[in-house]
């Protein structure tokens, strides 16, 4: 809600009239103390309930009741944790206990249902209460976001009702055990009366009743095996390693044309993926099939690349690792195509993608084992390498009997192998370009403030949950996954993603996500019945061509024939879905063909019941990790500017070179350090759209915004074909619009026009990146367009820009003109070409240029302004005449720190 001056305020009574749980409990005496006493009184009965439930459900040969009991005890202790450690005492530990409690609610609920005795009434109530509990989470999160993000009056009251409902459902679920305990008897035997005294817990149900089948328990009927679980986790981790290796190549290759500003020659590295073509040669095929563990070990060369500083060496090692990884997985799919292990491999392939996406979600879109990561910038490379080595050892070097396979004969000889390859190539591209990061499709539909759609955090977890749903369909309903109707649904989802912004576009994205994950095993299965060399090799080649098309749509100004795909993401999407349709025709025909040669013996839906349960365990663990990450990353929106007392805003502009430093390391943390130490309240970041295969499907603004405590606006999305603009702000972003400036010849020029609430005054900030020097007419038209945007704004305004012009010459006079009413922050600075800061209706205090070190190829320019102050004169004053709170940080004087210092004029400039 806003007041008369447009400032954002939080609603109170009468809009918010019902207290939430936390508001009722309070943080201090007496409310909190009373609640703590009540929790302490209920802890004893709670422990007793868990103990009695274990004795009621325990049965020989099953470890599930023990797991349920452990979960129940852990939840009780965690409840005490978040009750007795308030958010005021320690916010982090309060959140850790709270989220752990909620996470363990899922296995507790499912475990109780799975072990529940035969009691129709009790099972019915448990299902109803469990459904209400988890169903309530959706509106609970929705109204919390409406309150926290959108500041909707009354939303917190509605949220409070759902929050109290969760407690009632949780307590009610446990209270249902009273129905099961109706025939449960506790006997205390007097030890002085009998020679052998015992305390006995006896159930009224006889042994036959205890052995009866229980709801949901069929899936977990066999004893839990840690050996089988470790095997499953090893397979999944190898899938994770494959996706980590595959997704790393694009960004490693991209570094070289980025610095060459055109084709570098290193792009040939993408052909590493077509290594399965080697399997066309019979001797090589036999060699690979006989030494598959060695081939897997070869893929680890990507994971050791981080040891080397030289970019060319890391590129070579990454390429080599991917060469062996693609060869290993194609051979493995073919070798296991007639065994039940085939379904294990395809499931591991799918869950590996989910795990990769979760790893990036937890690490703010950087995969921690990529070659551009290290221990300094957030990498977990050594841990990732060690786990991969252990997974290979566990999966491929353990003693197993492999069925004899004739590596020269394959059932598929009807020419359909290339149709299957087309489908596999289209599917692999779809999985990589859209699902390798949970925030990619969110940036497609993002359209600025006020928020009208999903946020990368927490809604990235929705994407991961949708991926899990698709995986469950793939192992349970193969006939649904490969049906023409489901394909049409997937196409509709793709069309919505391409055509709509906000929630409607994201709903389409979720539908497409479920579809892509559901068809993955059946598409791999269709390829596995054909000769692996020509089929998987062609599939990867098709994937490579789509990757190039994915690049061409935005890099058209730098590549041959770029005009053919200029700004045609819709065409690439159409081709992708068309290829998937081609592949679907093969899977449908294979499903219809009942011949044993046409259909693998794995009987896909396909995993054995025991194997399927372990993959469901693994999926449940991954999804809980995603939900936990979403909770921990939920924005707090309690951001404060650095100089609130002086009503000062420090604004900067920086071209950050796609968050790759000069040595090909991810640079977000180095950028963070300089932005924080320069005390920037507002900063425009250019060359910031990383949501493409060649840039790793990343988003630097997520880490920077969360770590620095800033609002973030990601400029025109990846489907708008720009190199990107972004805005970070300590001040609330009241409204923002995204613009594409006229670009008839060259690359598109993005701009963000945002209205910020600066100390109660509405101030516009415009972030803009103009076209290249070669496109003269483009830049002229763009300067006129930006001038009009600035002139039409009725508020004070700051332009943070990349203009490609000399001061007071050419297009500069369109930006600084009577129409725009803008002033140059320092008209005497003649040594500029690209970056400029312009302003109006603010008191200019200072201006500084800070060297980039090796982070990027462009300096950071910074200006200081007083909101609501008088206009400054054109004179300059010495720093000694400036109040302490108005000065730039002194640590960058002289030689500065970490390669950053005030340069050009060697010190900041100040104005009266």
Please tell me what DSSP assigns to residue 402.
P
Q: How many whole angstroms separate alpha carbon 614 and alpha carbon 610?
A: 7
Tokens describing residue 502: 């906000």
Tokens describing residue 839: 């302003």
| Host H or E run for residue 469 | helix 456-476
For residue 792, how many other CB atoms are within 10 A of its CB? 10
Q: Nearest Cα to 802, choosing from 721, 723, 718?
A: 723
Q: How many whole angstroms separate alpha carbon 724 and alpha carbon 425?
A: 28
Catalytic choice (432, 738, 769, 843): 769
Contact of 863 with 684, CB cutoff 8 Å: no
Q: How many whole angstroms separate alpha carbon 50 and alpha carbon 68?
A: 9
| CB-based contacts of 306, cutoff 8 Å, min separation 6 | 314, 371, 373, 374, 379, 381
Q: Nearest Cα to 908, choosing from 895, 893, 897?
A: 893
Q: How many whole angstroms separate alpha carbon 74 and alpha carbon 395?
A: 32
Contact of 910 with 881, CB cutoff 8 Å: yes
Q: Nearest Cα to 613, choosing from 393, 332, 347?
A: 347
Q: How many whole angstroms separate alpha carbon 572 and alpha carbon 577?
A: 9
Report the C-alpha dihedral over residues 873, 875, 876, 881, rounded to 10 degrees. Answer: -70
Pairing status of strand 749-758 against strand 843-850: unpaired
Pairing status of strand 648-655 against strand 682-686: parallel
Residue 655 pairs in a beta bridge with 686
Question: Across 362-487, where does the E strand assignment appear?
Answer: none
Q: How many whole angstroms separate alpha carbon 571 and alpha carbon 564?
A: 11
Contact of 515 with 493, CB cutoff 8 Å: yes
Q: Nearest Cα to 910, choosing from 648, 676, 640, 684?
A: 648
The DSSP secondary structure of 690-710, one letter per residue, reads --SGGGTS--HHHHHHHHHT-
Tokens describing residue 57: 């459900």
Contact of 482 with 519, CB cutoff 8 Å: yes
248: helix, coil or strand?
A: helix
Contact of 423 with 582, CB cutoff 8 Å: yes
Q: How many whole angstroms separate alpha carbon 857 and alpha carbon 852?
A: 7
DSSP helix, strand, coil percent of the chain (3-state; round to 5): 55, 10, 35
| CB-based contacts of 401, cutoff 8 Å, min separation 6 | none
Please identify which residue in the block is written with the tokens 């991926």. Answer: 467
Q: Report CA-CA distances (Å) from 729 to 331, 410, 639.
A: 50, 60, 9
For residue 61, how many other CB atoms are within 10 A of its CB? 8
Contact of 728 with 699, CB cutoff 8 Å: no
Report the C-alpha dihedral over residues 518, 250, 306, 660, rounded to 10 degrees. Answer: -120
769 is catalytic: yes
Q: How many whole angstroms separate alpha carbon 873 and alpha carbon 877?
A: 10
Q: How many whole angstroms separate alpha carbon 29 and alpha carbon 32?
A: 6
Q: How many whole angstroms separate alpha carbon 672 and alpha carbon 680?
A: 10
- The Cβ-side half-sphere exposure at 629, using a 13 Å CA radius, reads 25
Catalytic sites, residue numbers: 769
């Amino acid at each position: 809600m806003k007041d008369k001056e447009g400032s954002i305020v939080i609603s109170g009574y009468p809009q918010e009239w019902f207290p939430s749980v936390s508001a009722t409990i309070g943080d201090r005496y007496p409310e909190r103390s009373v609640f703590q006493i009540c929790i302490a009184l209920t802890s004893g009965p709670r422990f007793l309930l868990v103990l009695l439930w274990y004795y009621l459900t325990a049965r020989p040969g099953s470890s599930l009741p023990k797991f349920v009991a452990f979960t129940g005890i852990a939840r009780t202790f965690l409840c005490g944790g978040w009750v007795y450690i308030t958010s005021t005492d320690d916010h982090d530990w309060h959140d850790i206990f709270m989220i752990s409690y909620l996470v363990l609610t899922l296995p507790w609920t499912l475990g109780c249902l799975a072990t529940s005795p035969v009691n129709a009434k009790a099972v019915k109530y448990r299902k109803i209460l469990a459904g209400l509990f988890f169903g309530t989470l959706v509106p609970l999160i929705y109204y919390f976001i409406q309150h926290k993000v959108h500041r909707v009056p009354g939303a917190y009251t509605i949220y409070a009702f759902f929050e109290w409902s969760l407690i009632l459902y949780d307590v009610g679920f446990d209270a249902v055990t009273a129905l099961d305990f109706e025939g449960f008897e506790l006997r205390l035997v007097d030890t002085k009366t009998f020679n052998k005294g015992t305390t006995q817990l006896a159930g009224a149900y006889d042994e036959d009743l205890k052995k009866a089948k229980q709801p949901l328990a069929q899936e977990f009927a066999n004893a839990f095996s840690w050996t089988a679980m470790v095997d499953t986790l090893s397979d999944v981790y190898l899938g994770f390693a494959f996706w980590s290796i595959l997704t790393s190549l694009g960004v490693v290759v991209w570094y070289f044309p980025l610095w060459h500003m055109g084709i570098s020659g290193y792009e040939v590295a993408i052909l590493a993926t077509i290594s399965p073509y080697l399997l066309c040669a019979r001797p090589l095929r036999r060699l690979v099939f006989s030494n598959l563990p060695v081939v897997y070990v070869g893929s680890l060369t990507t994971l050791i690349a981080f040891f080397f500083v030289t970019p060319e060496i890391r590129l070579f090692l990454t390429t080599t690792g991917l060469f062996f990884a693609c060869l290993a997985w194609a051979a493995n799919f073919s070798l296991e195509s007639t065994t039940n292990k085939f379904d294990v491999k395809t499931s591991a392939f799918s869950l590996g993608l989910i795990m990769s996406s979760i790893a990036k979600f937890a690490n703010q879109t950087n995969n921690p084992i990529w070659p551009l990561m290290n221990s300094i910038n957030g990498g977990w490379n050594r841990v990732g390498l060690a786990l991969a080595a252990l997974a290979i050892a566990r999966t491929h070097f353990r003693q197993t009997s492999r069925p004899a396979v004739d590596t020269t004969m394959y059932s598929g000889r009807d020419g359909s192998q290339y149709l299957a390859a087309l489908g596999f190539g289209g599917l692999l591209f779809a999985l990589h370009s859209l699902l390798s990061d949970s925030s990619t499709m969110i940036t497609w539909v993002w359209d600025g403030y006020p928020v009208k759609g999903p946020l990368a955090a927490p809604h990235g977890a929705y994407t991961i949950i949708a991926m899990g749903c698709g995986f469950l369909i793939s192992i349970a309903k193969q006939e649904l996954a490969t049906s023409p109707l489901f394909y049409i649904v997937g196409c509709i989802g793709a069309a919505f993603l391409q055509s709509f912004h906000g929630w409607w576009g994201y709903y389409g994205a979720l539908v497409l996500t479920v579809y892509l994950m559901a068809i993955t095993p059946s598409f791999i299965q269709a390829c596995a019945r054909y000769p692996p060399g020509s089929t998987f090799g062609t599939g990867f080649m098709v994937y490579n061509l789509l990757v190039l098309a994915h690049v061409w749509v935005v890099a058209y100004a730098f590549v041959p024939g770029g005009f053919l795909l200029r700004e045609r993401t819709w065409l690439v999407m159409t081709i992708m879905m068309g290829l998937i349709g081609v592949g679907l025709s093969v899977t449908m025909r294979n499903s219809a063909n009942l011949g044993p040669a046409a259909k693998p013996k794995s009987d896909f839906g396909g995993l054995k019941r025991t194997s399927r349960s372990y993959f469901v365990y693994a999926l449940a663990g991954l999804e809980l990790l995603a939900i936990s990450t979403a909770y921990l990353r939920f924005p707090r929106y309690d951001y404060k500017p650095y100089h609130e007392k002086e009503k000062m805003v420090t604004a900067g502009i920086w071209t950050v070179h796609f968050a790759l430093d000069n040595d090909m390391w991810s640079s977000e943390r180095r950028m963070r350090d300089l932005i924080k130490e320069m005390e920037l309240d507002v900063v425009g970041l250019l060359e910031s759209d990383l949501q493409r295969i060649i840039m790793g499907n990343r988003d630097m603004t997520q880490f920077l915004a969360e770590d620095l405590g800033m609002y973030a606006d990601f400029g025109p999305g990846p489907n708008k074909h720009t190199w990107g603009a972004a805005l970070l702000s300590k001040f609330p972003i009241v409204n923002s619009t995204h613009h594409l400036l006229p670009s008839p010849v060259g690359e598109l020029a993005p701009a963000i026009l945002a209205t910020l609430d600066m100390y109660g005054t509405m101030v516009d900030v415009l972030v803009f990146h103009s076209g290249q020097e070669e496109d003269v007419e483009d830049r002229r038209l763009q300067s006129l367009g930006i001038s009009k945007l600035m002139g039409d704004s009725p508020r004070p305004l700051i332009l943070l820009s990349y203009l490609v012009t000399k001061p007071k010459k050419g297009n500069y006079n369109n930006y600084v003109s009577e129409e725009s009413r803008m002033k140059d922050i320092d008209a005497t600075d003649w040594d500029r070409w690209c970056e400029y800061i312009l302003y109006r209706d603010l008191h200019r205090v200072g201006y500084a240029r800070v060297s980039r070190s090796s982070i990027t190829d462009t300096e950071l320019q910074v200006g200081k302004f007083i909101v609501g102050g008088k206009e400054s004169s054109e004179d300059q004053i010495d720093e000694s005449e400036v109040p302490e709170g108005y000065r730039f940080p002194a640590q960058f004087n002289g030689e500065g720190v970490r390669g950053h210092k005030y340069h050009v004029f060697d010190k900041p400039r100040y104005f009266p």
